[in-house]
Amino acid sequence: MTHSFHPTVLREYDIRGVIGKTLNAADYRAVGSAFGTMVKGKGGRQVVVGYDGRLSSVELEAALVEGLASTGLEVVRVGLGPTPMLYFAQKHLDADAGVMVTGSHNPPDYNGIKMVVRGGPVYGDQILEIGRIAAAGTLAKGEGRVSNVDLQDLYVERMLRDYDGPRDLTVVWDNGNGAAGEILRRLTRKLPGKHILLFDDIDGHFPNHHPDPTIPDNLVALQAKVAETKADMGIAFDGDADRIGAIDGNGRIIPGDMLVAIYAIDVLPRHPGGVVIADVKTSKTVFDAIAKLGGTPLMWKTGHSLIKAKMAETKSPLAGEMSGHIFFADRWYGFDDALYCGLRLVAQVSRSGGTLAALRDTFPSTVSTPEVRFQIDETRKFAVIDEVMARLRQSGADVNDIDGARVTTADGWWLLRASNTQDVLVARAESGDEAGLERLKAQIVDQLKASGLAEPSFTDSAHH
């Protein structure tokens, strides 16, 4: 049986679409049989499956399991929970692969799939390969076994094993009605200190706010609760809890890249000279901090799958992205887990004897733009970046081309890159002062105009 997917759903890092429009149960069945065929072809026998709290996830998980079982694989269902619990299950059971039904932080009518194999994340050409296998219809056949296993307590116990905070703190946790609710309740029940939970019930309507901690509006309830309870800090998750957001006791948002620098204070003494990876959108202050702490900073491409692959290659103990995907290989498994990152942050602040605000303030302040996205025709997206690169090289600019163009000048740096997941270009700039930032923004605008594009609007700069 052959199957073709909507052209928009097979993406660089995962599969994602709008339920009933670009993605449906038949697609999940087809992913199951095609991915199962791929796993079987590599000698695999066992795959674990989990799903998030979206309204469509129960039905889609059932179709996925059906597809996987039709290839003769042993399918272990770990049930409703966050994406990192599925990653944990794959590691703990030493399964050949793992599949998560999740729409991550997308709107309620979206859903998707994230996949791992024993060697690491499934992304890029491997995702396109699933499409090719489904289209060819040459599928493995067999009588698969399906079983259910509850790993929730085991997962919580394993996280708690790494908690070593001597001092009790008050922490507010915002689950945003996402998939981590039950795990968060079990985890905080056993953590020392006082823990206040917001929106911990799992609800695919997301009635309180959108589950994306990178958008400041989504942190307003958390900031209010931290102020009201005089809490030491606040921690937020995205819809499937593989991304973390954090605010300090003063209510300031700590960006994802700044968290990498804070965690490096804790991790690098155990890994002198260790490689710490951060994505191309990351503040220069973070790379400087890693070097100052005795680590080896490495700037890499944006994308959780790409960072995980680079971590394995460089044996990096810590990595992170501005988007809040943070990866601990120090005492953990190297995957992005916001629950575990939250636990490590609480422990680190507790041990520091001070506050999260004080840890944040050990690094210099800069002014920066947020991540500015603007629409561009999909066919022009990468071509514009090539044109910009050619002009920059001709002018002798100091440019890093690891993922788009990141240009360093006396004023600071600016970035222009093509998104792998949307028809947008992404821009960002950072400087020591407002005047410098304006000059950097002008350079971005000049480059876009030179490629025949309209001027992007930069919203107000943010202090980093």
Classify residue 434 by burial, with Cβ atoms within 10 Å: 0-12, 13-18, 19+: exposed
Residue 104 designated active-site: yes
DSSP 295-331: -EEEEE-SSHHHHHHHHHHHT-SEEE-TTS-EEE-SS
- Residue 370 amino acid letter: P
Q: Which of 104, 283, 305, 323 is an active site residue?
A: 104
Quote the CA–CA distance of 104 and 122 in Å, as a whole number.
16
Q: Are 71 and 35 in contact (CB under 8 A)?
A: no
CA distance 369 to 181: 33
The DSSP annotation for 202-252 comes to --TT--SS-S-TTSGGGGHHHHHHHHHHT-SEEEEE-TTSSSEEEEETT--
The length of the chain in residues reads: 464
Whose tokens are 């620098």? That residue is: 261
User: Could you give the angle at which helices 338-352 and 83-92 cross, rounded to 10 degrees?
Assistant: 90
Task: For residue 381, give the DSSP letter.
Answer: H
Please return the burial class of 30, using the count of CB atoms within 10 Å of its CB with bins 0-12, 13-18 and 19+: buried
Q: Which helix (H) or strand (E) holds 284?
A: helix 284-292
Please identify every residue annotated as catalytic: 104
